Structure 1
Amino acid sequence: MQDNNTFDAIVVGSGITGGWAAKELTEKGLKTLVLERGRQVEHVKDYTTTSMPTWDFRLRGRVSAEDEVNYPVQSKVYAFNEATRHYWVNDLEHPYTTPEDQPFSWIRGYHVGGRSIMWGRQCYRWSDLDFEANAKDGIAVDWPIRYQDIAPWYSYVEKFVGISGQSEGLAHLPDGEFLPPMELNCVEQKVKSGIEGKWPQRRLTIGRVANLTRAHNGRTPCQHRDLCFRGCPYGAYFSSQSATLPAAAATGNMTLRPDSVVESILYDEQSDRATGVRVIDANTGETTEYKARVIFLCASTLGSTWILLNSASDRFPNGLANSSGELGHNLMDHFYRVGASADFEGFDNKYYDGQRPNGVYVPRFRNVWDKHPDFIRGYGYQGGASRGNWKRGVGENGMGADFKDAITKPGPWNMGLQGFGETLPYHENSVRLNPDKLDKHGLPTLFISAKFRENEAKMKVDAMNAAAEMLEAAGGKNVSTYNREAPIGHGIHEMGTARMGKDPKTSVLNKWNQCHDVPNVFVTDGSCMTSASCVNPSITYMALTARAVDYAVKELNRQNL
């Protein structure tokens, strides 16, 4: 009879990677405990605002003054509003600190499913342009893997997730296992023709997105409501709730325990192995220890690194598996809030169906075929075209029947392109424990010191100018540019701090996402990343997780762990 506190595997976190680790481990026969620090969120049942019309909200869905006080960081996120507030952490209850002149936006959701409920769902494969970048540029450390190592695992996870997209045949943005693509609207098609006509090596394509365009694995196609951030009752986009956790539960091998704050990993110096985890009940404060043969940390980039840092011992005084001294360093994100927009004429008799929960994508074109003189790496664009709606009348003076009639008609067409660019892995961008600032459980919080630097600043200027140039070449009028300040972290693609590498002296993890120092601990969330690329990283996290579980289970069966 199995001890109730002993399992084959423990997964910490239930979001994008935690859900995948749970699915893969349980389907391979391991009795698996999934620990989530936040509350339970059940699929459909707990999507309490998913079908509420805007007029049923007290503030019509807007952010309140009270929200700005209680959620000073989270409320700045595009997906935060009156309908989604309950998915984001209260910043006052979950503090962290930064240098006064270096703010960091730590965007978090503590609940079962994590940010898989609120993510942007864009899915792009990396290529060897990304995996070889550090080595070619002579910075940081080289990735221990290449595209061929992860390509089969991209295919594996894509077939389960369900990603709609258009194949483009680009070596630096590999095609995947796509469901039928969503359609570009008329202005997006015009801009595509204009860009590709003037710059044949550039592409504008529909976004590659984890929204279903047809029924897939028992889930319903997207309804084009564009209310994704509230939780989808149709399961039409990929989340832990709609896909991986049900698959894990179906095996009978998963035990899911929400409201479980992992305080530390337990380590036995004699065996040189982790033996389990120590957990604090988020509601009662009671402490419990759980044991397992293998542990997967999937608690988010900074969450997993916090756990490792807080698991110090005589053997590892600066954090578990930190003989390299790199744990907590090399924090990265993507910069954005830079680009251009333009008006387009000649399409007043055209519109579009529904609210497509997706945009367009312009893949990276800098430092692909030739070298830019001012910066290394590159950026891509996300964006789209739409028509003005009734909201354009909010700031106008007007009243009466004629005014109402005017604003109920579609407004002019506008197209925007927003750059998302790579941040380099600076050793100085780092996190550490702050024992002087404790959380509500009496645990040390994080001190986060990170900023964008010269390479990113130069790239942003180029991204702004190139966006304007492309829109103008496509026939756009009244082209306007912007380059807004936003702290690192605001891109919600934080990664690094427990990087993969070939050498235990300069990295925390090996090519299998396995701790060099503690071989039965695997880390597969964003903390494992060695560089950042310029594309949304979640599909890479998923592929790395599935690959790592496959390796870990084989090693368990060989009794190597």
Structure 2
Amino acid sequence: MVAKFDLNDDNVVVVIGTGAGGGVLSNELAQKGVKVVALEAGGRYLPEDYVNDEWESFGQLAWTDPRTTSGDWRVSRDFSGLPAWIVKAVGGATTHWAGASLRIQEHEFKTQTHYGDVEGASLLDWPITLADLEPYYDKAEKKLGVTRTNGIPGLPGNNNFKVFEAGAKKLGYKEVSTGRMAINPVDYDDRLACQQTGFCFQGCKWGAKWSAAYTDIPRGEATGNLEVRENAQVARILHNDEGKVTGV
């Protein structure tokens, strides 16, 4: 049952956005009995709505509102009003992402130590380590169904991969495989396996690629604790004199 909360209900948690952050958080809270209103700037599209056409899909999912940018980079100088391929829809970037799900490597937490002082850069070591994040990586990989983790096989290589594989082996590489992806190689989590259609960026019509749009959001709504308000763009966050958030 999809919840419906009053605009003046101060007992709800308001979450802005329904992507990898907001969508997952909304579901996690709803599963624990917390009342949640998730505000989404765009509409709702599901696998049956996605379009296997790059240009048409851009018009369906992308942030095409008039926009501007600043600075001295070329986009600002020459294309300041260029629409951005940022999804404005329930599920956010999890609809558009490629699904690549790699862990940060141990040495990357110590960039300053590893690379030393680099002219023009302000490298710093992270205050945490890979070991600190591993329990959360484990949980995320299981939730998303990341290939080559938790006994999930890798995706089959497409023709592009086979060309790279042949070249790598010719150069002497011994281990060559498809990467860790949040795309089902087999049926998983009530979602179909990848059908190798090739329109991952336009929304997966099979639901094989993990997206909050058809996993966390409907599961949160099913608890009766989550209301998603579509086409509700947040312009600003309101505060009182003490700095406490009072509304959006």
1:232 is aligned to 2:225 = no
- For 1:161, the equivalent position in structure 2 comes to 144
Q: Which runs of 5+ in 1 are unaligned?
A: 51-60, 62-79, 166-175, 279-561
- For 1:419, the equivalent position in structure 2 comes to none
- For 1:219, the equivalent position in structure 2 comes to 191
The offset of 1:148, in angstroms, is 1.5
For 2:150 and 2:144, the matched residues in 1 are separated by 10
Aligned equivalent of 2:49, options 32, 46, 49? 46
1:266 is aligned to 2:238 = yes
The offset of 1:41, in angstroms, is 1.6
- For 2:13, the equivalent position in structure 1 comes to 9
Structure 2 vs 1, CA of residues 31 and 135 (structure 1 numbering), >3 Å: closer, same or farther? farther
Structure 2 vs 1, CA of residues 88 and 143 (structure 1 numbering), >3 Å: closer, same or farther? same
Structure 2 vs 1, CA of residues 226 and 107 (structure 1 numbering), >3 Å: closer, same or farther? closer
- For 2:168, the equivalent position in structure 1 comes to 192
The offset of 1:116, in angstroms, is 1.6
1:142-541 pair list within 5 angstroms: 142-165=125-148, 176-177=149-150, 179-184=152-157, 186-197=162-173, 204-270=176-242, 272-275=243-246, 277-278=247-248
The offset of 1:101, in angstroms, is 4.7
Contact 1:131 1:147 in 2 (8 A): yes
Q: Deviations over 1:118-162 (max 9, x none)?
A: 211111011221222145545354423221121111111111111
For 1:266 and 1:98, the matched residues in 2 are separated by 25
- For 2:79, the equivalent position in structure 1 comes to none
Contact 2:14 2:37 in 1 (8 A): yes
Q: Which runs of 5+ in 2 are unaligned?
A: 77-81
The offset of 1:216, in angstroms, is 1.0
User: Over alpha carbons, which structure has the higher Rg?
Assistant: 1
- For 1:127, the equivalent position in structure 2 comes to 105
Larger strand percent: 1
For 2:106 and 2:146, the matched residues in 1 are separated by 22
Residue correspondences, number: 229
Contact 2:95 2:202 in 1 (8 A): yes
Provide the TM-score with structure 2 as the length reference. 0.79
Q: Deviations over 1:472-516 (max 9, x none)?
A: xxxxxxxxxxxxxxxxxxxxxxxxxxxxxxxxxxxxxxxxxxxxx
Higher relative contact order (CA 8 A, sep 6+): 2
Structure 2 vs 1, CA of residues 253 and 196 (structure 1 numbering), >3 Å: closer, same or farther? farther
CA RMSD of aligned residues (A): 2.6
The offset of 1:188, in angstroms, is 3.8
Contact 1:16 1:113 in 2 (8 A): yes
The offset of 1:244, in angstroms, is 1.4
Contact 2:112 2:124 in 1 (8 A): yes
**Which range moves more in the overlay, 108-117 or 96-105?**
96-105
For 2:29 and 2:172, the matched residues in 1 are separated by 45
SS in 2 for 1:255: strand
SS in 2 for 1:82: helix
For 1:182 and 1:44, the matched residues in 2 are separated by 20
Aligned letter for 2:189?
N
Contact 2:58 2:202 in 1 (8 A): yes
